[in-house]
């Protein structure tokens, strides 16, 4: 008889010790699956008439609730509204959802998120737009147009790659004419208060200088791309723009930042967010636009709404309540 090999002895020993751990009656070992540890890619499709819209998440950033997050309401009241919405009372989580519209003739991106450069700094919480475009099967090189709603970092920074090259190299960059005139004006920059406003002026020069200032300004009340009408919704910034996407009988109102997160600012349209440049005008716009959306029963796509950002609105007291559309497994 041959000597048992070393391998045979080890296999026999393993079988014995494993056997000792198998409960009586168990017929096979049950291995635990490893935890994924990361979120799944986020994109969601729906149709507006003959158009296909893909909402693509850029992520969401959680920050401590600042004393002046809402400038005309005490922090305590904002905390209570967050708690009433089953959110942590001392932090605010703001999602970012750019959309991609395929009109059949053009592939159009509306707003661009925090930018790839922010991904590392934010530990992957935001700056995800480009990754999720890839997951959605959308090639940034074939995007025909990028439409910018306003010149805040969470909307324009994604125009650049992490190494400051054009993120959509073959796209026409369309910007609101009023926004372009305001933010690129050296006189306005010189009069801007130090801090956030100065930082915004500097950031816009950083982004648009990297693009060689090659943009096409657009005007309100006309189509920026056929089927996508620019609607002036000023206040949050001077040239802040929303859109009506219309195809056949389908319509959706892309509100941009008419409100920030709806649990605070749709419920309380009189609350003035610190980021609203002209708070009175922003509030007037908010009430006018939301009354119109409710009256016309138009669905709304909200940049800072919970992903995927598509909702219906109704009046609720002095404010409005959003109902997010349920996931649709087909389009």
As a whole number of angstroms, the distance between CA 123 and CA 25 comes to 46
CA 144 to chain CA centroid, nearest Å: 20
Residue from 116, 257, 283, 322 binding Zn ion (CB under 5 A): 257
Pick 98 or 227: Cβ nearer Zn ion: 98
Stretch that binds Zn ion, among 18-26, 105-113, 154-162, 213-221 (CB under 5 A): 154-162
* β-strand partners of 59: 96, 126
CB of 150 vs Zn ion, minimal distance in Å: 8
Q: Which stretch binds Zn ion (CB under 5 A): 11-19, 138-146, 149-157, 292-300?
A: 149-157
Q: Looking at residues 4 to 63 of the shown chain, list those that interact with Zn ion (rule: CB under 5 A).
A: none
- Number of Cβ within 10 Å of residue 304's Cβ equals 23
Contact status: 154 vs Zn ion (CB under 5 A) = yes
Residues 182-204: b if buried by 16+ CB within 10 A, e if exposed: bbbeeeebeebeeeeeeebbebb
Closest distance of CB 50 from Zn ion, Å? 29
Q: Is 90 helix (H, G, I), strand (E, B) or coil?
A: coil
Report yes or no: 111 and 256 within 8 Å, Cβ to Cβ.
Answer: yes
Residue 272: phi and psi, rounded to 5, are -100, 110
Dist. CA 210–CA 142, nearest whole Å: 20
Number of residues lying near Zn ion (CB under 5 A): 2
Token digits for 261?
Answer: 């997160």
Is the CB of 87 or the CB of 304 nearer to Zn ion? 304
Task: Identify which of residues 61 and 181 has a Cβ nearer to Zn ion in the complex.
Answer: 61
Question: Given the complex with Zn ion, which of 58 and 154 has the nearer CB atom?
Answer: 154
Separation between Cα atoms, residue 237 and residue 257, nearest integer Å: 9
Q: Which of residues 52-81 bind Zn ion (CB under 5 A)?
A: none
Question: Contact between 276 and Zn ion (CB under 5 A)?
Answer: no
How far, CA to CA in Å, does 137 sit from each of 63, 100, 131, 132?
A: 31, 12, 10, 9
**Any contact of residue 111 with Zn ion (CB under 5 A)?**
no
The C-alpha atoms of residue 120 and residue 221 are separated, in whole angstroms, by: 39
Part in contact with Zn ion (CB under 5 A); list of ranges 28-36, 63-71, 222-230, 249-257: 249-257
CB of 45 to Zn ion, least distance (A): 23
| Least distance between Zn ion and beta carbon 95 (Å) | 10
Alpha-carbon distance of 314 to 109, in angstroms, equals 28
Nearer to Zn ion, 52 or 278 (CB): 278
Query: Which residue stretch of 179-187, 254-262, 265-273, 317-325 sits at the interface with Zn ion (rule: CB under 5 A)?
Result: 254-262
What residues line the site for Zn ion (CB under 5 A)? Answer: 154, 257
């Amino acid at each position: 008889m041959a000597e048992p090999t070393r391998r045979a002895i080890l296999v026999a020993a393993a079988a014995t010790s494993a056997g000792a751990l198998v409960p009586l009656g168990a017929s096979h070992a049950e291995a635990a699956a490893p935890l994924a540890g990361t979120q799944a890619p986020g994109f969601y499709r729906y149709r507006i008439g003959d158009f296909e819209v893909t909402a693509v998440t850029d992520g969401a950033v959680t920050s401590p609730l600042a004393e002046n997050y809402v400038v005309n309401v005490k922090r305590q009241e904002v905390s209570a509204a967050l708690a009433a919405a089953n959110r942590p009372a001392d932090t605010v989580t703001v999602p970012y959802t750019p959309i991609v519209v395929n009109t059949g003739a053009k592939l159009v991106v509306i707003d661009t998120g925090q930018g790839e450069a922010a991904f590392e700094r934010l530990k992957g919480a935001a700056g995800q737009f480009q990754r999720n475009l890839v997951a959605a099967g959308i090639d940034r090189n074939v995007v025909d147009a990028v439409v910018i709603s306003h010149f805040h970092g969470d909307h324009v920074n994604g125009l650049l790659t992490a190494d400051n090259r054009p993120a959509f190299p073959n796209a026409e960059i369309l910007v609101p004419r009023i926004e372009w005139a305001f933010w690129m004006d050296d006189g306005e920059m010189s009069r801007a208060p130090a801090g956030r406003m100065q930082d915004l002026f500097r950031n816009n020069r950083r982004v648009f200088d990297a693009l060689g200032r090659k943009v096409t300004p657009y005007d309100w009340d006309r189509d920026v791309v056929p089927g996508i009408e620019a609607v002036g919704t000023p206040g949050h910034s001077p040239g802040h723009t929303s859109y009506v996407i219309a195809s056949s009988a389908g319509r959706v109102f892309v509100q941009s930042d008419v409100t920030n997160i709806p649990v605070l600012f749709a419920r309380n349209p009189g609350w003035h967010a610190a980021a609203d440049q002209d708070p009175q005008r922003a509030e007037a716009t908010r009430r006018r636009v939301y009354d119109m959306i409710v009256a016309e029963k138009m669905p709304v796509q909200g940049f800072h709404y919970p992903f995927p950002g598509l909702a219906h609105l109704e009046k609720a007291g002095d404010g409005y309540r959003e109902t997010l559309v349920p996931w649709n497994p087909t389009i």
